[in-house]
Homo-oligomer: A and B are copies of this chain.
Amino acid sequence: MFFASDNSGPVHPKIMQRMGEANTGYAMPYGNDALMDDVRTSLRDIFEAPEAAVYLVATGTAANVLSLACYAQPWQTIFCAQHSHIEEDECNAPEFYSGGAKLTLIPTDNKMTPDALRRAIARRAGGSVHMAQAGPVSITQVTEFGSVHSLEELRALTAVAKDAELPVHLDGARFANAIAALGCTPAEMTWKSGVDVVSFGGTKNGCMGVEAVVFFDPAKAWEFELRRKRGAHLFSKHRYLSAQMAAYLTDDLWLQMARSANSACARLSEGLLAHGAQMIHTPQANMIFARFPRAIHQKLQASGAKYYVLDGDVATGDGDEMLGARLVCDWSMSNYLIDQFLSHF
């Protein structure tokens, strides 16, 4: 009963298999392997972006900060949601890679709103040399609270950015889960909606450790390559990153796994609601933020269930103290485990 994170599950067997198949003889290092040519083509196809510059790195933080650094000058500020991963979970990696740019936190409990973004950008307008200058806008899709921006919502945000002539980064650590939720195309959720660069996550969705960075403006390619090497993120035995991504893209495996995860999450969510849990956010992908009674938490933990209890999130419901929890389903989550979890309610 592991609901702590989608970064802790196993790798899909098809991905393991492709890595094994790649393990024969010599291959050109540093991204010059033949498999990477296939991956590049596939990603360009999937994103309907024949000119896109496409790269692989091994961690989600690397994908975020290397791509942001290509758009954020050291004297600028990056606009992001208050609880975004780049603010809360990357130990100043965005500041490090950008050479000291600031992060301006858009106040929000979940999805960034166009109004809040506009106000934050407006405070950086006017051209005074004294303040941090307006830099890129970073949007997280799926959000850190399991919500998914509709295409309309996404476009409203990027429109605010474009009005201010600011580039847009999409943190897509859970990109596939968002596509599965929206039923749109990758192109629709990125460049057709005003996104300039996207981290296309694999690690949380059944890969071992691979993320694609897709620049829709190929002019950023060489800078990214230099930043990746300088950041020590260029793999010599790159073919094993390529192999993961190749398998992930084959026959829509990426989408199938995301659908499994989302569907497991829906089953869990329905079960929780049926047992009287309160939803803190409406789950739209593969993460649930819910409150349920302290007594049930105790039973679950005694039975070995793993998940995050939300510090300080306490409410009262039905005469019992309700504590918040974060529950995440990965591609491999089984109905059996979900039902076992729910059986403690």
Please report A residues at the B interface, Cβ cutoff 8 Å: 2, 4-5, 7-11, 13, 16, 19-20, 23-30, 58-62, 65-66, 73-77, 88-93, 95-103, 129-133, 203-204, 208-209, 225-237, 240, 306
Most buried by B among A74, A77, A102, A131: A74
B129→A30 contact, CB < 8 A:
yes
Contacts of A90 in B (CB 8 A): 130, 229-230, 232
Minimal beta-carbon separation of A51 from chain B (angstroms):
20
A–B Cβ pairs within 8 angstroms, 28 of them: A5-B29, A5-B236, A7-B29, A8-B28, A9-B25, A11-B240, A20-B20, A26-B306, A62-B232, A65-B232, A66-B232, A74-B96, A74-B99, A75-B226, A75-B229, A75-B230, A90-B130, A91-B131, A91-B132, A91-B226, A93-B229, A93-B230, A95-B102, A96-B99, A96-B100, A98-B100, A204-B236, A209-B236
Contacts of A132 in B (CB 8 A): 91-92
A203→B102 contact, CB < 8 A:
no
Q: Which of B26, B74, B103 contacts A230 (CB 8 A)?
A: B74
Closest 3 CB pairs of A and B: A7-B236, A2-B26, A95-B100
A96→B240 contact, CB < 8 A:
no
Q: Which of B16, B229, B237 contacts A203 (CB 8 A)?
A: B237
Contacts of A95 in B (CB 8 A): 74, 95, 100-102
Q: Which of B24, B27, B129, B208 contacts A91 (CB 8 A)?
A: B129
A232→B231 contact, CB < 8 A:
yes
A92→B65 contact, CB < 8 A:
no
The answer to whether A93 and B232 touch (CB under 8 A), given A7-B29, A133-B226, is: yes
A10-B26, A75-B229, A75-B230 given; name 6 further pairs at CB < 8 Å: A7-B237, A8-B237, A13-B23, A59-B233, A74-B230, A93-B232
Contacts of A230 in B (CB 8 A): 74-75, 90-93, 96, 100
Tell me the number of copies of this protein: 4
Complex CA gap A58/B236 in Å reads: 10
Minimal beta-carbon separation of A41 from chain B (angstroms):
21
Contacts of A75 in B (CB 8 A): 91-92, 226-227, 229-230
Contacts of A20 in B (CB 8 A): 16, 20
Complex CA gap A70/B148 in Å reads: 40
Complex CA gap A139/B8 in Å reads: 37
Minimal beta-carbon separation of A291 from chain B (angstroms):
20
Contacts of A225 in B (CB 8 A): 129
A203→B8 contact, CB < 8 A:
no
Complex CA gap A268/B130 in Å reads: 28
Q: Which of B8, B28, B74, B98 contacts A236 (CB 8 A)?
A: B8
Complex CA gap A200/B16 in Å reads: 26
Which chain B residue has the least Cβ–Cβ distance from A173?
A: B236
B129→A234 contact, CB < 8 A:
yes
Minimal beta-carbon separation of A59 from chain B (angstroms):
5
Minimal beta-carbon separation of A176 from chain B (angstroms):
16
Complex CA gap A13/B98 in Å reads: 40
